[in-house]
Amino acid sequence: MKIEEVRSKPNTELEFDLGNLKKELFELRFRNATDSSVSPARINQLRRAVARILTVVHERQLGIRGQEVQ
């Protein structure tokens, strides 16, 4: 997920995506601990996607980059 995609979504959709990504990340970490067939690159992608969403939500709360709080 690119930053432009994240910035174009409303807060409610970001919260929904954030929940799904965190759930998937938890499942991958759990499978990684019990099984070795998990791709570490996918875990990194999910971590970065979560960070992007949290960054945009925080920017909107602070009013940075001219974004409106939705």
Alpha-carbon torsion 19, 15, 61, 52, what sign? Answer: positive
Angle at the Cα of 22 from the Cα atoms of 57 and 30, rounded to 5 degrees: 160
**pLDDT value, residue 69:** 53
What pLDDT, in 10s, does the model give residues 9-67? 999 999 999 999 999 999 999 999 998 788 899 999 999 999 999 999 999 999 887 56
Pick the CATH number of 3-66 from 3.30.2130.10, 3.40.190.10, 1.10.1740.10, 1.10.287.310: 1.10.287.310
Separation of alpha carbons 5 and 2, rounded Å: 5
pLDDT at position 26: 96
> Given the structure tokens 């919260």, which residue do they identify?
15
Confidence (pLDDT) at 66: 58
Give the CA angle between residues 14, 53, 4 to the nearest 5°: 90
Largest CA distance in the chain: 45
pLDDT attached to residue 17: 97
